[in-house]
């Protein structure tokens, strides 16, 4: 296993500078081997770029971390049911991926390297197919928008009611497809715990170059019908544990943590929980007053707002979330949940590890594959 992982990582390091060419070759090969897979992707393939190839490599590179990889693959296999993926599609994807790498690695693509990639992809594909075959839930859910409200010029709250309840756990995320951007699936986190009516609330910020997020913020209307994929992610709080909880949220990354807090608030007693909620400026903490109201009626919860700029604001920590949190040390005896942009997660987790936090204390979800 160690030799296989080393071969994969070394060969990928050689290939990564050519990701654009590798991706173009990959899709050309895939659509030749399995023409029906073209319908899985948006009409404009430039938007897709290297997302699928990077996701495949992300999976293959985790083969030496089975405790993390296995549940991730099971969720991913269930998620891919929404496309109508069948076993022959996995075969075509694997063939196209190996052919693309071989085409660009040249002499560095040795029989040993090929065997390592083939074995790793086979392990991943088998786990995904097994999970898909055993899932009794629908491949996807339809959900109707019942409210669209702009919180700021670039941020919207969207509430939907699915045709039947989506079986997500607080802290999980789902892929969504909106009518304004067909086939462009993106991940969003419910900001509320599951409700009796199945209603789901999303907080969506329009990002630069974000085809889907901009469409949601600017053009979503009540009555629009979205498609939702199966729930993904493993962030959670163990109420039965005696360990305190540290939550760290950047911007709309507060949504899955808010969902967990919404769920915990159903009980009078919970683990002592502190939420550091941050952003560049005060106006970026759009949910602060709601969170403070929640803390006012739940003594186990403490909210610590953090801003990067804007001078001294009473009651606010100054600096990045990574700086603010590590001022308090390594947080021994805490379960730590981190949610936000990929850059924020990387910076925060890295700084906490340097400060002495243990990796097995920290939970975060791999949004970087999107």
Residues 45-59 have a mean pLDDT of: 66
Distance CA 264, CA 245 (A): 12
Instruction: Using alpha carbons only, give the angle 155, 160, 162 rounded to the nearest 5 degrees.
Output: 150
- Helix ranges restricted to H, 51-86: 51-60, 66-79
Structure token pair of residue 354? 């340097």
With cut-offs at 50, 70 and 90, classify the pLDDT of residue 226.
very high
Region 245-249 average pLDDT: 98
Burial (CB < 10 A; 0-12, 13-18, 19+), residue 149, is: exposed
Mean per-residue pLDDT for 44-73? 71
Separation of first and last alpha carbons in the chain:
27
d(Cα 350, Cα 289) in Å, to the nearest integer?
Answer: 29
pLDDT digits (tens, 9 = 90+) for 310-335: 767 788 999 999 999 999 999 999 99
Residue keyed to tokens 């997302």: 51
Residue 271 in contact with residue 243, Cβ under 8 Å?
A: yes
Banded model confidence at residue 250, pLDDT cuts 50, 70, 90: very high
If you average pLDDT over residues 266-288, what whole number do you get? 94
Q: Quick check: 183 pLDDT over 60?
A: yes
pLDDT at residue 118 tops 70:
yes
Strand arrangement of the beta sheet that strand 334-339 belongs to: 317-318, 301-307, 273-279, 244-250, 334-339, 362-363
In this predicted structure, what is the pLDDT of residue 13? 84
Which of these ranges, 138-142, 176-180, 342-346, has the smallest mean pLDDT? Answer: 342-346
Bridge partner list, 144: 161, 225
- How many residues are given for the chain? 370
Q: Stretch 170-186: mean pLDDT, rounded?
A: 92
What's the 3-state SS for 127-183?
Answer: HHHHHHHHCCCCCCEEEEEEEEEEEECCEEEEEEEECCCCCCCCCCEEEEECCCCCC
Q: Which of 25-29, 135-139, 230-234, 298-302 has the highest mean pLDDT?
A: 298-302
Closest CA to 98 of 117, 82, 70, 122: 117
Domains and CATH numbers, the chain: 1-132 (1.10.490.10), 139-230 (2.40.30.10), 242-362 (3.40.50.80)
């Amino acid at each position: 296993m160690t030799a296989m992982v080393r071969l994969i990582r070394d060969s990928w390091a050689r290939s990564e500078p050519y990701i654009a060419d590798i991706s173009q070759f990959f899709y050309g090969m895939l659509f030749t081997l399995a023409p029906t897979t073209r319908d899985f992707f948006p009409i404009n393939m430039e938007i897709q770029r290297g997302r699928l190839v990077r996701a495949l490599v992300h999976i293959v590179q985790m083969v030496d971390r089975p405790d993390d990889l296995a549940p991730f693959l099971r969720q991913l296999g269930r998620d891919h049911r929404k496309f109508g993926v069948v076993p022959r599609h996995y075969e075509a994807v694997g063939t196209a991926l190996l052919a693309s790498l071989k085409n660009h690695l040249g002499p560095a693509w040795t029989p040993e390297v090929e065997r390592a990639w083939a074995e790793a992809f086979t392990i991943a594909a088998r786990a995904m197919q097994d999970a898909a075959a055993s899932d009794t839930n629908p491949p996807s859910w339809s959900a109707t928008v019942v409210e669209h409200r702009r919180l700021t010029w670039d941020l919207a709250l969207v509430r939907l009611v699915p045709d039947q309840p989506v079986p997500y756990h607080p802290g999980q995320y789902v892929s969504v497809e909106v009518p304004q951007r067909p086939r462009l699936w993106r991940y969003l986190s419910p900001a509320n715990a599951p409700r009796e009516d199945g209603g789901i609330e999303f907080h969506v910020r329009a990002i630069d170059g974000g085809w889907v997020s901009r469409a949601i913020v600017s053009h979503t209307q009540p009555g629009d019908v979205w498609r939702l994929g199966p729930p993904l992610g493993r962030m959670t709080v163990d109420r039965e544990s005696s360990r305190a909880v540290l939550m760290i949220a950047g911007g709309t990354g507060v949504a899955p943590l808010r969902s967990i807090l919404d769920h915990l608030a159903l009980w009078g007693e919970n683990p002592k929980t502190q939420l550091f909620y941050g952003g560049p400026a005060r106006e970026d903490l759009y949910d602060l007053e709601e969170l403070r109201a929640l803390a006012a009626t739940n003594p186990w919860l403490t909210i610590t707002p953090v801003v990067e700029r804007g001078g001294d604001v009473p009651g606010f920590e100054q600096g990045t979330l990574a700086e603010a949190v590590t001022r308090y040390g390594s947080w021994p005896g805490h379960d730590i949940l981190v949610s936000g942009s990929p850059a924020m997660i990387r910076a925060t987790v890295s700084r906490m590890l340097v400060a002495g936090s243990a990796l097995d204390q920290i939970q975060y979800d791999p949004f970087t594959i999107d």
